[in-house]
Amino acid sequence: MMKNTRLIEKAYLLGEFVDTKNKFDVINPASNTSIGQVPDLPLDQVEAAIAYSDKAWQSWKTTPIGERSQLLHQLYQLTLKHREQLAEVMTLESGKPLQESLVEVDYAASFIVWFAEEGKRAYGDTIPSVSTRNRLHTIKQSVGVVAAITPWNFPLAMLTRKVAPALAAGCTVILKPASQTPFTALAFAKLAQDAGIPAGVFQVVTSTNSKAVGKLLASHDLIRKISFTGSTEVGRTLMEQAASTIKRTSMELGGNAPFIVFDDADISAAVEGAIAAKFRNAGQTCVSVNRFYVHDAVYNEFADALTREVSKLKVGNGLDEGVKVGPLINEKAVEKVQKHVQDALDHGAKAKTGGKHLKGNFFAPTVLTDVAADSLVASEETFGPVCALFRFHTEEEAILAANNTPFGLAAYFYSENVRRCHRVSERLESGMVGVNTGIISDASAPFGGVKQSGVGREGSHHGLDEYLEIKYISYGQ
């Protein structure tokens, strides 16, 4: 294969691509071979980036929103123009099927165009005073320098969901992409450079030392906000570190999504939704279904239909035609999936299809039935292509089981009864609910969790507010 010209083996600081002596390999999870190297930046270069970012903020925050919006529109156009190349980079470093990478580029781009426009609507208020003759106003202003730390499962979309609103709001951003997927972020940086985003407004620091870089970013005085997507464990650490300087935080953390199939559900629609909500990125998304609760009356029908569809999913290298399920990100991920499956089997579950490690980082798409409530998969996020089916008898029982977790990101359910649809969506403890749908992400809607799944929302006008401060101004007579 010809080398993709978008594989840039340099970090992006102050508008320039810079090299370093120390570099690290980026591994293609489909073959476990290196696709290239990027700089392992020393901490003093990350510190320098913070200073550049602060300097750039001084002029970026006062640049008219019309101009900032124009630049974001440019960036949007360039992202779409380079759709195929970006998708290929993403598949090479994350393993996801090319078709999914293409969809991700479009999804990622949708945040750029959304916030290019939404940035123009950062309205303040005029407030009637109840006690004085003063005139009360509010204005919204950029928070300041933002640190964004992103994961490997959506190398582009998790990035634009933070960078686009931050830039639209007038913030500058230092991005630390996951060390597994830095090339997508660097390819995007090239587009930002080509679009004319001023030097220092957006920078990409690459490192294998996530702990030290994370600590520096989360505790540095000049950084006013940290936006993180990743595990709850790391999110907790970053919030602790951010507390030292009272930084604002947005945390999009782990989930443990339930998917309830009621006895009045359209079963074929539920199976279709289940495949979409479970097998995207081989089950490695924070809104992937982790627990299927199926009513006793439709349990066998749903399990059989789901098994038929799951056995058809083609597994392989994401660049190959027709592949629906790629490799997991690495060996550790495979081990976790194996552990969850084995534990469920040990507790009495049956594997209707799959249930085994294939080779390398590939795991067979799996359906497990009669999973016991005390299995690991009931309480921990599996992050793999495994459907674990639990049985229930009453609506109350299903809701209690669904809510029986410290997480609350996404939840899904299928029912044809409109009153039940309202009732159940209101009672589920999650930031997002898919009713008769397995796909919920949309740039115009607020994405985020409750409980230990995070704080804050991304996308929609709420996603812009994450990067804005409200200033209240009182005018005396």
Residues 322-341 that bind ligand ADP (CB under 6 A): none
Is residue 39 at the binding interface for ligand ADP, with CB under 6 A as the rule? no
Closest by CA to 17, choosing from 193, 210, 213, is: 193
Q: For 204, list phi and psi in degrees, rounded to 5.
A: -125, 120
At 361 the three-state DSSP class reads coil
Is residue 20 at the binding interface for ligand ADP, with CB under 6 A as the rule? no
Contact residue for ligand ADP among 98, 234, 260, 303 (CB under 6 A) = 234
Smallest distance, Å, CB 176 to ligand ADP?
Answer: 6
Residue 88 annotated to the active site: no
Q: Which residue type occupies 137?
A: H
> Which tokens sit at 216?
């520096």
Is residue 209 at the binding interface for ligand ADP, with CB under 6 A as the rule? no
Catalytic residue among 88, 93, 104, 252: 252
The residue among 226 and 435 lying less far from ligand ADP, judged by its C-beta, is 226
The residue among 287 and 464 lying less far from ligand ADP, judged by its C-beta, is 287
Contact residue for ligand ADP among 99, 237, 330, 338 (CB under 6 A) = 237
Whole-number Å distance between alpha carbons of 276 and 271: 9
> Which tokens sit at 248?
């604002």
Is residue 151 at the binding interface for ligand ADP, with CB under 6 A as the rule? yes
Whole-number Å distance between alpha carbons of 455 and 1: 43
Is residue 231 at the binding interface for ligand ADP, with CB under 6 A as the rule? yes
Is residue 36 at the binding interface for ligand ADP, with CB under 6 A as the rule? no
Exposed, middle or buried by CB within 10 Å (0-12, 13-18, 19+), for 76?
buried
Cβ pair 237, 255 in contact under 8 A: no
Please, how many CA atoms are within 13 Å of residue 286, restricted to the half-sphere of its CB?
29
The residue among 110 and 206 lying less far from ligand ADP, judged by its C-beta, is 206
Is residue 214 at the binding interface for ligand ADP, with CB under 6 A as the rule? yes
**452-467 burial code (b ≥16 CB/10 A, e <16):** bbbbbbbbbbebbbbb
- Residue whose Cβ sits closest to ligand ADP: 214
Is residue 310 at the binding interface for ligand ADP, with CB under 6 A as the rule? no
Cα radius of gyration (the chain): 23
Is residue 219 at the binding interface for ligand ADP, with CB under 6 A as the rule? no
The residue among 97 and 230 lying less far from ligand ADP, judged by its C-beta, is 230
Contact stretch for ligand ADP (CB under 6 A) within 82-90, 149-157, 406-414, 458-466 = 149-157
Give me the residue label for tokens 């686009």: 164
Q: Residues with catalytic annotation? A: 252
List contacts with ligand ADP (CB under 6 A).
Answer: 149-151, 176, 178-179, 210-211, 214, 230-231, 234, 237-238
